[in-house]
């Protein structure tokens, strides 16, 4: 039995980052992974999807070359090559994580890990051989997978999850996307851009339902303009896969209708990977599919910790990484503050992109806050006009009395790279007037943030 200071179970963006930080802090560290280093994010999520979306964006630019005074004749796509490029990017990133493990002297243990009492983990390799390891601290970072609905059982062929969606052998002529969170919307954008006829079915009244309502409505307009059909306040009650394609029965306020497509993508959320990893044997407490932890990710059993999608925080790669770093820094005796889950940015990488942090206007009003709201459309931005991408806006919400930046909501080209300004400003408790007096470069998309703040304080210049 090998002994370590820290063993991390799972090598996604939570697990591998945690292992690296633990090693940096002087812990003898091992990481256990049953598939590929990098987990879902690097291999089947964040990274390969962005490669697909970039191909879609380039394809759109080529199709609209004349809008920029250029000519591009006979433009077409090679769907198989697009998929292969995405897989190549993912493979390269996974190899990068392998390099980081070696660089940081982290022992990589390949196999399926199961937690055992007394701070031990049993690992079964491909041959079925089991080896037991022990550590002073065991950190669970096993992530999550696509959630399945009883009315929408995935078969991997006609009813698929995100894994199959990014590695289809042939492009479907038509697709129904059930769920309009980040995963559903990104795939809806990708397949629509590639030429697939896409219908989005959302159970709630607005697509991207966690976003500010104005952002949701703008994205719906942009998607409809691109040819995506959208049905909100709608529920898929049953599916029939007996024929060549799929027939989905959808219940709306107007009654039931049957939608037909080649394939259905189920994007109705995620399910934490907490089964069959030994939680019950150790006695670790869970509630509603999540492992219960304190502010520093300690479970109810000393020596066992959990981070990322298996815990109650937002299921986002950057949250998992932050949690893991905070966890091991606490173990090392460093002074750390609990993570502020109210200041976590969320991003959706369709076109136009969506990015947000903090309270929506509706949430601020529900809290009874006296607020100032400012909004600046990209149609009034010189940089947006010049780039040919003027859909969208920046919206800011401030506390009227103290100037606290309560929320920032963006939709437009490149906004996922802009939202960090609001995150840092909110972390530093920056006021609206301080943002106004911070000179923003011109012409840029980012100056729309300053203009939106100016609008909130009745000082807007370019609108």
Question: Which residues are catalytic, by number?
Answer: 442
The full DSSP string for 286-341 is EETTEE---TT-B-SSTTEEE-GGGSSS---HHHHHHHHHHHHHHHTT-------G
Cis, peptide link before residue 115, omega less than 30° from 0: no
> How many separate helices (H) and strands (E) can be counted in the chain?
14, 24
**Partner residues linked to 272 by β-bridges:** 144
Q: Do 347 and 414 contact (CB within 8 A), yes or no?
A: no
Q: Is 316 helix (H, G, I), strand (E, B) or coil?
A: coil
Q: Retrieve residue 430's tokens.
A: 């920056």
As a whole number of angstroms, the distance between CA 73 and CA 311 comes to 51
Q: Which helix (H) or strand (E) holds 407?
A: strand 405-412
User: Torsions phi, psi of 14, nearest 5?
Assistant: -80, -50
Torsion of CA 320, 324, 325, 328, to 10 degrees: 170
Q: Retrieve residue 246's tokens.
A: 């799929």
Q: Do 52 and 82 contact (CB within 8 A), yes or no?
A: yes
As a whole number of angstroms, the distance between CA 131 and CA 112 comes to 10
As a whole number of angstroms, the distance between CA 423 and CA 435 comes to 12
As a whole number of angstroms, the distance between CA 411 and CA 407 comes to 14
Q: Which helix (H) or strand (E) holds 321?
A: helix 317-331
Q: Is 195 helix (H, G, I), strand (E, B) or coil?
A: coil
């Amino acid at each position: 039995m090998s002994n370590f200071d820290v063993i991390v179970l799972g090598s996604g963006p939570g697990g591998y980052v945690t292992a690296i930080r633990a090693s940096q802090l002087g812990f003898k560290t091992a990481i256990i992974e049953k598939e590929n280093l990098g987990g879902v994010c690097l291999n089947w999520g964040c990274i390969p999807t962005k490669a697909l979306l970039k191909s879609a964006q380039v394809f759109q630019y080529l199709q609209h070359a004349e809008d920029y005074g250029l000519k591009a004749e006979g433009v077409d796509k090679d769907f198989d090559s697009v998929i292969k490029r995405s897989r190549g990017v993912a493979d390269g990133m996974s190899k990068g994580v392998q390099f980081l493990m070696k660089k940081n002297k982290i022992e990589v243990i390949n196999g399926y890990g199961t937690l055992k009492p007394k701070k031990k983990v049993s690992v079964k390799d491909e041959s079925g051989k089991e080896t037991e390891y022990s550590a002073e601290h065991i950190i669970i970072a096993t992530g999550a997978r696509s959630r399945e609905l009883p009315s929408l059982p995935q078969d991997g062929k006609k009813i698929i999850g995100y894994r199959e969606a990014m590695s289809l052998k042939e492009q479907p002529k038509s697709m129904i996307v059930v769920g309009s969170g980040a995963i559903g919307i990104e795939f809806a954008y990708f397949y629509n851009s590639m030429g697939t006829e896409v219908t989005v079915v959302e159970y709630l009244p607005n697509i991207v339902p966690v976003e500010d309502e104005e952002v949701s409505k703008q994205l719906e307009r942009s998607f409809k303009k691109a040819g995506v059909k959208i049905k909100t306040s709608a529920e898929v009650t049953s599916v029939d896969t007996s024929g060549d394609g799929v027939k989905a029965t959808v219940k709306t306020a107007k009654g039931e209708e049957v939608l037909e497509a080649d394939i259905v993508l189920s994007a109705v959320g995620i399910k934490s990977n907490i089964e069959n990893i030994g939680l019950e044997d150790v006695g670790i407490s869970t509630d509603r599919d999540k492992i219960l932890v304190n502010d520093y990710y300690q479970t109810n059993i000393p020596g066992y910790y959990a981070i990322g999608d298996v815990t109650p925080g937002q299921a986002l790669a950057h949250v998992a990484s932050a949690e893991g770093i905070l966890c091991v820094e606490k173990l090392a005796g460093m002074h750390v503050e609990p993570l502020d889950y109210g200041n976590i940015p969320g991003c959706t990488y369709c076109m136009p992109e969506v990015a947000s942090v903090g309270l929506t206007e509706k949430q601020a009003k529900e809290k009874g806050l006296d607020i100032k709201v400012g909004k600046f459309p990209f149609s009034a931005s010189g940089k947006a006009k010049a780039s040919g991408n003027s859909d969208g806006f920046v919206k800011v919400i401030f506390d009227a009395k103290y100037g606290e930046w309560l929320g920032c909501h963006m939709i437009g080209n490149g906004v996922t790279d802009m939202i960090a300004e609001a995150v840092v400003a909110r972390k530093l408790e920056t006021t609206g007037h301080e943002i106004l007096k911070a000179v923003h470069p011109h012409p840029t998309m980012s100056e729309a943030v300053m203009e939106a703040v100016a609008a909130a304080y009745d000082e807007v210049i370019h609108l």
